[in-house]
């Protein structure tokens, strides 16, 4: 059965944001994907990669910036998706777009894209991996060596704290890691795992 934690506080969100300030690459990786996405970075096109915020993160950022709005689901399946997310304390949201982005007010989902925790066969969080559903669209997935070690280290620290705090998220990433292993077995493509720089 899926565990449920009590909601994150605004103070926790601010602390998590403070851990997630590292640049992902030494260059603007948006230059890799903008030409194929109408001049906008793939991960900033809300129609292709819908951002999500923890509920307290949404209220914190909504109060201090005009960057975020709640997503308006239209179809029945979108409405069901939105309801399901809310049960997990998550709000799907849209931003005012890349041209008006405010770096300091980006969400955790913006800051962590395109990586997520990898939970290994032992049930241990041991690395970061590319989100499977976006691999084809994010050019960095074929350039893992371009991702800065300082970014990997800081994000590993963030996820260690968050996964302890939110067992339901641990379960989500455990399941996606299992799917990634199955896919890797099926295709013969090795998993790409980004590990922290400490032993």
Which stretches of the chain bind ligand SF4, using CB under 6 A?
29-30, 32-33, 41-44, 51, 67, 95, 97-98, 101, 106, 110, 113-114, 138-140
The greatest distance separating any two alpha carbons of the chain, rounded to the nearest whole angstrom, comes to: 48
Minimal distance, residue 53 CB to ligand SF4, in Å: 10
Q: What angle do CA 48, 49, 51 make, to 5 degrees?
A: 140
Query: How many Å separate Cα 68 from the centre of its chain?
Result: 16
DSSP state letter for 105: G
Minimal distance, residue 109 CB to ligand SF4, in Å: 8
Minimal distance, residue 142 CB to ligand SF4, in Å: 10
Pick the closest to residue 13 from 90, 81, 67, 86 (CA basis): 90
Minimal distance, residue 51 CB to ligand SF4, in Å: 5
Q: Which is nearer to ligand SF4, 56 or 109 (CB)?
A: 109
Q: Which is nearer to ligand SF4, 32 or 127 (CB)?
A: 32
Q: Which is nearer to ligand SF4, 5 or 94 (CB)?
A: 94
Specify which residues 92 forms β-bridges with. 52
Q: Which is nearer to ligand SF4, 106 or 155 (CB)?
A: 106
DSSP state letter for 67: S
Tokens representing residue 72 in the block: 């308006």
């Amino acid at each position: 059965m899926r565990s449920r934690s009590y909601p994150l506080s605004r103070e926790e969100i601010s602390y998590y944001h403070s851990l997630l300030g590292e640049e992902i690459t030494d260059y603007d990786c948006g230059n890799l994907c903008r030409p194929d996405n109408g001049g906008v970075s793939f991960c900033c096109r809300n129609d292709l990669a819908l951002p999500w915020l923890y509920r307290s993160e949404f209220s914190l950022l909504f109060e201090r910036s005009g960057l975020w709005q709640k997503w308006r689901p239209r179809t029945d399946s979108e409405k069901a998706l939105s309801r399901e997310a809310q049960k997990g304390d998550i709000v799907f949201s849209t931003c005012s777009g890349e041209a008006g982005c405010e770096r300091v007010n980006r969400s955790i989902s913006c800051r962590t894209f395109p990586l997520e925790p990898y939970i290994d066969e032992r049930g241990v969080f041991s690395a970061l991996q590319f989100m499977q559903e976006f691999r084809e669209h994010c050019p960095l997935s074929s350039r893992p060596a371009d991702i800065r070690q300082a970014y990997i280290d800081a994000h590993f620290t963030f996820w260690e704290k968050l996964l302890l705090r939110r067992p339901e998220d641990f379960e989500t990433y455990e399941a996606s890691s299992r799917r990634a292993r199955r896919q890797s077995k099926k295709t013969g493509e090795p998993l790409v795992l980004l590990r922290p720089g400490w032993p």
